[in-house]
């Protein structure tokens, strides 16, 4: 242990954690029912069959912490020096629900519940709107309500919705609402869809260990190559886990993408206005959730720029005081560290 963790900026910056999860009881009961009925996909069955039912220490403590937006969470923030937490409904939110009325209700009630806690602790909590992309027009309205009435500062979507990706034109109302509010979209992992999960599940690698990252990396890449940022040049998309490995891949992605576009091999791969690296540097924001590792953090700052990397803890899934200290101890200038821990979040969430 290198130093004590305190809130209040004793090291020259506040700590704003940007990918922090909560759950509602209704949400967990809904997943449990779907798992029991056999109506959940393989990913929800794997993820929530575990967290909602396993007697293991990991599952029981995480479930208890997800359900708390009160005393315990604030104490854990105090104990690890977290000044403010950007909260979002845990994955996959309302996205697996096939009954639209039920999906809208679950999302709306989660937003109202979060808004109450954010209002009660405005100095500690920041909220993101949850939506039900299976109803894109309703989701657009909920994004406006979140921004205008609930004081939320961004929108979180838990990657694919029943196997569909946000580059599909039907989701356009969501992007129009994001543009109208000027809010960022956080694409958070969820279990890969049935069409992708097979060989991952077989090896026990479908979750946060690997499957999450691969699936969100694909999602972001699909959005970029479909031209989302040519259509919405002001849109900012956030992803966690050090950019879900895209910064590390970017040289090869750009090389092969350009070669493929030139060859006209796929009708869906059209020329873009910029390189994919340029989009990462103008429209993508990356958080350090789950990746408290100096080489990866400094590499990503170098690739996308120090204004585009933000601290995240991923409470309660990855709650370790020593990971906060890793960020504090980074061998980077204080001004850069302040951007990482505080001011980039203030800028991009418009706090």
Q: Contacting ligand 1DF (CB under 6 A), which of 208, 228, 297, 303? A: 208
Contact call for residue 207 and ligand 1DF (CB under 6 A): yes
Contact call for residue 90 and ligand 1DF (CB under 6 A): yes
CB of 52 to ligand 1DF, least distance (A): 11
Contact call for residue 289 and ligand 1DF (CB under 6 A): yes
CB of 99 to ligand 1DF, least distance (A): 21
Contact call for residue 323 and Mn ion (CB under 5 A): no
The interface partner of residue 207, options being ligand 1DF, Mn ion, none and the CB cut-off 5 to 8 Å by kind, is ligand 1DF
The interface partner of residue 290, options being ligand 1DF, Mn ion, none and the CB cut-off 5 to 8 Å by kind, is ligand 1DF
Q: What residues contact 73, with CB distance under 8 A and at least 6 apart?
A: 22, 65, 85, 315
The interface partner of residue 208, options being ligand 1DF, Mn ion, none and the CB cut-off 5 to 8 Å by kind, is ligand 1DF
Site for ligand 1DF in 22-81 (CB under 6 A): 47
The encoded tokens of residue 61 equal 């403590």
Nearer to Mn ion, 131 or 272 (CB): 131
Whose CA is closest to 283, among 184, 350, 212, 213? Answer: 184
Q: Contacting ligand 1DF (CB under 6 A), which of 14, 16, 17, 21? A: 21
The tally of CA atoms less than 13 A away on the side-chain side of residue 175 is 20
Which residue of the chain is nearest ligand 1DF when measured via CB?
208
Edge-to-edge order in the sheet of strand 185-187: 16-22, 84-89, 125-130, 154-157, 185-187, 237-239, 284-287, 309-310
Q: What angle do CA 43, 220, 188 make, to 5 degrees?
A: 50
Q: How many CB atoms lie within 10 A of CB 319?
A: 18
Q: Contacting Mn ion (CB under 5 A), which of 92, 314, 324, 348? A: 314
- Rg of the chain (C-alpha set): 19
CB of 111 to ligand 1DF, least distance (A): 18
CB of 290 to ligand 1DF, least distance (A): 5
CB of 322 to Mn ion, least distance (A): 19
Nearer to Mn ion, 128 or 253 (CB): 128
The encoded tokens of residue 288 equal 């350090």
CB of 317 to ligand 1DF, least distance (A): 4
Q: Contacting ligand 1DF (CB under 6 A), which of 30, 44, 87, 91? A: 91
Contact call for residue 189 and ligand 1DF (CB under 6 A): yes
CB of 241 to ligand 1DF, least distance (A): 6
Nearer to Mn ion, 41 or 314 (CB): 314
How far is the C-alpha of 57 from the C-alpha of 316, rounded, in Å?
13
Nearer to ligand 1DF, 114 or 140 (CB): 114
- Ramachandran class of 15: left when φ > 0, alpha when ψ lies in -120 to 50, beta otherwise: beta
CB of 241 to Mn ion, least distance (A): 8
- The residue ranges that bind ligand 1DF (CB under 6 A) are 21, 47, 90-91, 189, 207-208, 240, 289-290, 314, 317
- The residue ranges that bind Mn ion (CB under 5 A) are 19, 314
């Amino acid at each position: 242990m290198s130093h004590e963790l305190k809130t209040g900026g004793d090291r020259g910056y506040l700590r704003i954690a940007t990918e922090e999860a909560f759950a509602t009881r209704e949400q967990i009961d809904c997943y449990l029912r779907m798992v029991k009925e056999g109506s959940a996909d393989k990913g929800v069955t794997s993820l929530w069959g575990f967290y909602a039912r396993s007697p293991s220490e990991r599952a029981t403590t995480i479930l208890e912490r997800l359900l708390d937006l009160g005393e315990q969470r604030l104490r854990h923030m105090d104990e690890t020096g977290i000044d403010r937490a950007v909260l979002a409904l845990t994955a996959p939110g309302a996205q697996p629900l096939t009954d639209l009325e039920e999906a809208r209700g679950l999302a709306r009630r989660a937003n109202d519940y979060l808004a109450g806690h954010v209002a009660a602790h405005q100095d500690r909590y920041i909220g993101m709107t949850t939506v039900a992309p299976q109803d894109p027009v309703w989701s657009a309205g909920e994004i406006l309500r979140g921004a205008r009435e609930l004081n939320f500062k961004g929108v979180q979507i838990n990657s694919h919705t029943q196997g569909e990706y946000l580059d599909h034109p039907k989701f356009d109302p969501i992007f129009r609402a994001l543009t109208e509010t000027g809010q960022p979209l956080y694409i958070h992992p969820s279990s890969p869809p049935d069409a992708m999960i097979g060989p991952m599940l077989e090896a026990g690698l479908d979750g946060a260990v690997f499957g999450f990252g691969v699936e969100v990396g694909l999602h972001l890449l699909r959005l970029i190559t479909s031209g989302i940022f040519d259509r919405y040049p002001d849109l900012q998309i956030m992803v966690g886990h050090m950019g879900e490995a895209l910064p590390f891949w970017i040289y090869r992605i750009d090389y092969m993408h350009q070669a493929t576009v030139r060859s006209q091999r796929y009708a869906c791969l059209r020329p873009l206005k910029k390189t994919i690296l340029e989009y990462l540097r103008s429209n993508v924001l990356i958080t350090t959730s789950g990746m408290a590792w100096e080489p990866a953090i400094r590499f990503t700052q170098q690739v996308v720029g120090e204004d585009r990397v933000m601290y995240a803890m991923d409470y309660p899934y990855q709650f370790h005081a020593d990971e906060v200290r890793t960020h504090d101890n980074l061998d980077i200038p204080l001004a850069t560290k302040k951007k990482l821990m505080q001011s980039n979040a203030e800028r991009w969430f418009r706090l």
